[in-house]
């Protein structure tokens, strides 16, 4: 069975652009608004979150680390 382009080996890297992620997450958000089942809604929200973090997790972690550095600096000043 041949491997589809979507399924990459664990050692391969696929670059994903933020525009595509934004489009997919927006489409899932619209879909979530029309869903009544809480179970389906939860699964779609998890999917949207997972897709969002494909691109934005590193940026958010970097911002949090920068915020931690600022907190440490202010503690040094207060001490």
> Would the pLDDT of 78 be above 80?
no
Q: Which domain holds residue 73?
A: 18-78
Residue 26 lies in a domain: yes
pLDDT (tens digit per residue) in 24-67? 999 999 999 999 999 999 999 999 999 999 999 766 666 666 66
Which residues have CB under 8 Å from 16's CB, separation 6+?
54, 55
Helix 18-33 to helix 38-78 angle (10° resolution) is 130
Residues comprising the chain, all counted? 79
Residue 10 lies in a domain: no
Residue 42 lies in a domain: yes
Q: How many domains are there within the chain?
A: 1
- The CA distance from 60 to 13, in Å, is 21
């Amino acid at each position: 069975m041949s491997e589809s382009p979507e399924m990459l080996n664990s050692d391969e890297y696929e670059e994903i652009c933020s525009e595509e992620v934004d489009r997919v997450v927006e489409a899932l958000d619209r879909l979530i608004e029309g869903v009544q089942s809480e179970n389906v809604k939860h699964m779609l929200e998890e999917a949207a979150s997972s897709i969002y973090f494909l691109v934005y997790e590193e940026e958010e972690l970097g911002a949090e680390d920068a915020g931690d550095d600022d907190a440490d600096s202010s503690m040094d000043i207060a001490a």
